[in-house]
Amino acid sequence: MSAEIRVRRRVAFSETDAAGIVHFSNYFRYFEDAEHALWRDAGLSIHPESAEIGWPRVSASCEFHRPLKFEQEFDVSVRIAELSTRTITYAGEIARDGEKIATGTWKIACVSKLRDGTMRSVEIPAAVAERLQPPS
């Protein structure tokens, strides 16, 4: 079981803007990739093939402290800050050589996918909650 993970990455050219600095939208991708790694580390998939539930984002924020540039290596850390009966709140940090680059928080909700294409909030399955439960 894992309630926290760290992933090492390198900035790809396609992730940068004309100034060679990572475009702000990519920070959310970095956090999401690490989030999915956390699920895999817990023996889960956030989107199994036959899933009857989904995990849409209901809020997200990111604070930028320093820029990242093409070819720089960095670490993305993600931890579960709160797990309620229907939502998971994450806290993430992107760092390079011990310097904080960006911090973020985001919340996902467990939803049931209805036949008409809409979603309805449901409780997180016990098997998922047990594997993602942060240490007390």
Q: For the chain, what percent of residues have pLDDT higher than 90?
A: 88
Query: What average pLDDT does the segment 1-25 reach?
Result: 92
Q: Using CB atoms within 10 A of its CB, is residue 99 exposed (0-12), middle (13-18) or buried (19+)?
A: exposed
Query: What average pLDDT does the segment 91-102 reach?
Result: 98
Range of the domain at 37: 4-132
Within 10 A of 128 (CB to CB), how many other CB atoms are there? 19
What type of residue is 99? E
Number of domains the chain is built from: 1
Our answer to whether residue 41 is catalytic in this structure is: no
Residue count (the chain) = 136
Q: What is the CATH number of the domain that holds 9?
A: 3.10.129.10
- Catalytic residue, candidates 17, 33, 75, 116: 17
Encode pLDDT of 44-72 as tens digits: 999 988 888 999 999 999 999 999 999 99
Mean residue pLDDT across the chain = 94
- At 135 the pLDDT is 66
- At 1 the pLDDT is 43
